[in-house]
A and B are shown apart, each in its own frame.
Chain A
Amino acid sequence: MNPAAVAADTAERLDRAGSLNAALAWSPAALAAEARRVEALEPGGPLHAWPIAIKDNIVTTDLPTTCASKILEGYRSPFNATVIDRLRAAGGMVACKTNMDEFAMGGSTEHSAYGRVLHPLDGDRVPGGSSGGSAALVAAGVVPAALGSETGGSVRQPAAFCGIVGVKPSYGRVSRYGLVAFGSSLDCVSVFGRTVDHAARVLAAISGGDPADATAAAMPPLALDPPRADLRGLTFGLPVEYFPPDLHSGVRAGVDRAIGLVRELGGRVQEVSLPHTAYAVPTYYVLAPAEAAANLARFDGVRFGRRAGEDTDLTAMYRATRGQGFGPEVQRRILIGTYVLSAGYSDAYYGKAQAARARIRGDFSRVFASGIDALITPTTPTPAFKAGDKTADPVAMYLADVFVSAVSLAGLPALSLPVGRDSGLPIGAQLIAPAWQEARMLAIAAALEARLDPVAEVR
């Protein structure tokens, strides 16, 4: 299809998917401009004329960037994120900006200042979060791929809920320049794909070192592995901590299906242990808020964004701008982050969490050093839950991250692969690989994908 036709088709699909509330900003005119940009390129780019949805915490000059927050209402960045430049250089087109939990804080995309995103298969349910808008648009067939971001599972978890592929790269594989920071030591631009191949191609296109990001590894772009017919010679670990006795039986059945397939394809499977797993969620909920409290200090009504309390004094202006501009979950996390770093508490919380993070990282290193090539786990403890189910208790929402946080803390690559459905709701299995082993991880996932029916009931 030629770029202009793709642009028009995407606009039509976005229009039809409007009820999902997944897209925050898009226009047929902006899409047409993207198409013209692609037409001016040499053809043959790896993403030639792919419309790609962009999470609204990735800055763009052509469309507003709000992070689904009132504090950035109408904000237009004067620069593009590195990943936007790279997508376009590869022939991709920015389809739209997508709804999310405000500043990526949440696991259901209910914490958006612009309303919740609906699950494409069941509007009463959540698509997961925080990259719920991107996930919903891929799942609804509006775009073949989308960018999200992960701080602690915000792509893998909605991918599992929506029945699509979600890939988080190694920390440092993709530039963060232009990704609005949440927890800088954890944040990774991550990718949704309709298939493993879609996600892999987008990841390859946006990866590689960037002189504008001191935490991006100085590496060439990711080179993908050729497809593999089997998994012979590979050893897969099943961490016992990820298979508790009370695990949701549908989730368990879905992951078992993937494990069975690994064996069928000649892979070896063995139990392993990651003993500090239980510390991952509390560690995450100390470190991410601590970093977020500082990262969100720049939203002060001085240089950009929305200002409130104009006719008061400086301190009152700050407090009004931030108190009225940030939603309740963001304010909670800022307060928690402030608490865990404040005088007298820093050692007990922040310091302890850093130590726990080192142990969690050490768990993975030990297991991978023992000959394990990849780990298989559930991505989420349950399938997509109902909207409103977890909004009353923040900790209940945090516990939905139980299988995804440790990977983020360890900076490892991981993906969620749809393995089937339980009562019509998608189930995802998570593959976790050693750092910088994305190519092999993606090839393994593709081999499994080729033999799985993602819409078949798992039990």
Chain B
Amino acid sequence: MSWETVIGLEVHVQLGTASKLFCGCPTTFGSPPNQNVCPVCLGLPGALPVPNEGALRLATRAALALGCTVHRRSVFARKNYFYPDLPKGYQISQFDRPIATGGAVRCESPERGPISVPLTRLHVEEDAGKSIHDRFANATAIDLNRAGVPLAEIVTEPDLRSAGEARAYLTALKQILVYAGISECSMEQGSLRVDANISLRRPGAPLGTKTEVKNLNSFANVERAIEAEQARQQALLETGRAVEQVTLLFNVGTGAVKPMRSKEDSHDYRYFPDPDLPEVVLSDAWIAEEQAALPELPDAKRERFAAGYGLSAYDARVLAADRRTGDYFEAVVEAGADPKASANWVMGEMLGGVHTTGAGAVAAATLAALIAMVQRGEISHAAGKTILEAIAASGETPAGAAERLGLMQVRDDAALERWVEQVLAAAPKEVDRCRNGETKLIGFLVGQVMKLSRGTADPKAIGALIERKLG
């Protein structure tokens, strides 16, 4: 009989604020240790937290983007435990009254097709600092720059069934959060972290004992860790042993999971409302502002691109995957270019090489003009690519660059005549073979003319002229 894997994910995502959740220290990544600290985030005697409105706005926006119910009243609570990178001896989090509950994320399960992953809750909490164990012998170094950085914790129901689904969910979740401007979701910088709860059961049976794998630092490692833990639990269960409820750490090097805490370590967090912080009260108007600030999300954009512009499902997905690319594509279309041609140009040229923003950006209207020139037959597609690269560097207009580079399609019959004569004269053997019926060599001859014209000749006109001359 087979086993069913039951997975729930807890994602901690850094809310993209300038300052920390309860103090004015910057959230900058990569500062020297203990630079971005103050009495509040150091937990010094007498210091008090004051909530950052920006963090609550981003959390609200995230909740709205994920379809959660946003609660008008929520409560910050203290989660009590001792750890040296937790300055106050408690984490300010939310417990029984989170800012949001419910919601769902749609994604594509590799096994089950389209699924909707239900969310339990989204709450706001402060990050801890960093413990560094390999810096000093027999001692741990503590850096509190991250302490107090605002996080949203997003918890799914135990509705995922495979490592692949976990990855698909995370990919979709990240896309939404980046899209809505909530977080950069950079796993390298620790702004997105994943804990996975895993249990096994026989299909239809009640839930088994779950274990928690902590602090997974890439989507690939989430997959690997789930697979490793799935195998470990299966081996236990199939030899008649029980799964113990433990917290595990994933070893990136070996791919194995091992218990993180000794068993006697207690989990009694003694949550209670933080008396330093009044209840969080959000007005309807305040929530409406966040709803209004929410951009069109990937799902909706994908559907609109496919239906509105007649794009293929694949093209719509690629263009909607990133908000800036989608916006750029639409700007090109708005500037008058054909949607399908725009999609091809944006996907082919812009994603691959020339960027749509930053240094070397090509304005959407410029790309639209270039696409129009190709469609009118004024330049060849190949010349268009050359011109795009040129204008990205020089900032010229497409027509100007085409002129300067001599890439305008040549319609002058005398010039064509001259190039064709020149090529035919230089290739007497190929001309003979053509005359003897090897017509596919015409393509070769057209190519030679194109080369000579540096792409400015119209290949159709050349073909016709050669056929006439040989005929």
Measured CB to CB, the residues of A under 8 A from B are 58-59, 65, 67, 72, 75, 77-79, 81, 176-181, 183-185, 211-215, 290-291, 293-294, 296-300, 302-304, 314-315, 318, 338, 341-343, 346, 350
Contact = CB atoms under 8 A, between A and B. Distances in A.
Given A214-B48, A294-B272, A304-B44, 5 more contacts: A65-B46, A214-B277, A294-B89, A300-B84, A342-B268
B196 interface: no
B50 A212 contact: yes
Interface residues of B, number: 31
Contacts of A179: 46
A297 B89 contact: yes
25 contacts: A65-B45, A75-B45, A77-B39, A77-B44, A78-B44, A180-B45, A181-B45, A181-B46, A181-B48, A213-B50, A214-B277, A214-B278, A290-B272, A291-B272, A294-B78, A294-B80, A302-B142, A303-B43, A304-B45, A315-B82, A318-B82, A341-B270, A341-B271, A342-B268, A346-B270
B47 interface: yes
Interface string B58-89: 00000000000000000000101010100111
B49 interface: yes
B190 to A, nearest CB: 21
Interface string B77-108: 01010101001111000000000000000000
B56 interface: no
A176 B48 contact: yes
A298 B80 CA distance: 11
A79 B87 CA distance: 17
Contacts, number: 109
Interface in B293-351: none
Nearest to B76: A214
A104 to B, nearest CB: 12
Contacts of B467: none
B410 to A, nearest CB: 72
A350 to B, nearest CB: 6
A343 B268 CA distance: 6
A453 to B, nearest CB: 40
A284 to B, nearest CB: 14
A370 to B, nearest CB: 28
Given A75-B45, A78-B44, A302-B84, A341 B89 contact: no
B48 A177 contact: yes
A273 to B, nearest CB: 29
| Pairs of residues from A and B, 3 with the lowest C-beta to C-beta distance, nearest first | A297-B89, A185-B275, A184-B275
B276 interface: yes
A421 B321 CA distance: 81
A78 B45 contact: no
A314 B277 CA distance: 30
Contacts of A58: 46
Contacts of B375: none
Nearest to A304: B44
Contacts of A346: 270, 272
Contacts of A81: 46
Contacts of A297: 80, 82, 88-90
A84 to B, nearest CB: 10
B251 interface: no
A67 B44 CA distance: 13
B55 interface: no
Given A59-B45, A213-B50, A300-B82, A341 B272 contact: yes
A350 B272 contact: yes
B173 to A, nearest CB: 31
B51 A214 contact: yes
Contacts of B88: 294, 297-298
Interface string B188-232: 000000000000000000000000000000000000000000000
B140 interface: yes
A215 B39 contact: no
B339 to A, nearest CB: 52
B42 interface: yes
Given A78-B39, A298-B89, A214 B46 contact: no
Contacts of B84: 300, 302, 314
Contacts of A72: 45
Contact of A300 (B50, B51, B89): B89
Nearest to B23: A212
A351 to B, nearest CB: 10
Nearest to A319: B82
Contacts of B80: 293-294, 297, 341
Most central of A72, A181, A297, A304 by chain B CB within 10 Å: A297
A213 B278 CA distance: 10
A181 B276 contact: yes
A342 B39 contact: no
A214 B276 contact: yes
A298 B87 CA distance: 6
Most central of A79, A291, A302 by chain B CB within 10 Å: A302
Given A294-B78, A303-B42, A177 B47 contact: yes
Nearest to B144: A303
A65 B42 CA distance: 17
